[in-house]
Amino acid sequence: MIKLFFLQIVALFAICIILDWLRLIINKFHQKEFKLRLIDSMPILALIFIHQLTINPKGFSWDPVLIIGWMFIGILVLIHKAFTKHQLSHKNFYRTLWRIGDLYFLVAWIFAGIVSTL
């Protein structure tokens, strides 16, 4: 499993380089600047990586538990936005939820990597 975790780190760096090249190509042909960051794709990549690290012979993975936790975080963010801003904006809510999800899944992936190497 330790080889898989380090292979995922190498894949993450490769995806980072590809996304950076893609951003440069898109910005070259479009007038509006396109902001594409690796961290924005982290929830999707982390779910794939965590599934690979935590799958057991019975087919159980941490992904369902993590997604339920992310939904719970979404409900808390929604309640927080409703009571502090007194209005809800889809753009503001989704941006906040996605940024929290970036950190949430990054920490979960690192934790899964540590647990799988033990």
**pLDDT by 10s per residue, the chain, length 118:** 778 888 888 888 888 788 878 877 877 777 776 666 667 778 888 888 888 888 888 888 999 999 999 999 999 998 888 888 777 778 888 888 888 998 899 899 889 988 888 8
pTM for this predicted structure: 0.79
* 99 Cβ contact partners less than 8 Å away, ≥ 6 residues apart: none
Q: Determine the Cα–Cα distance for residues 71 and 97; give it in Å rounded to an integer.
A: 9
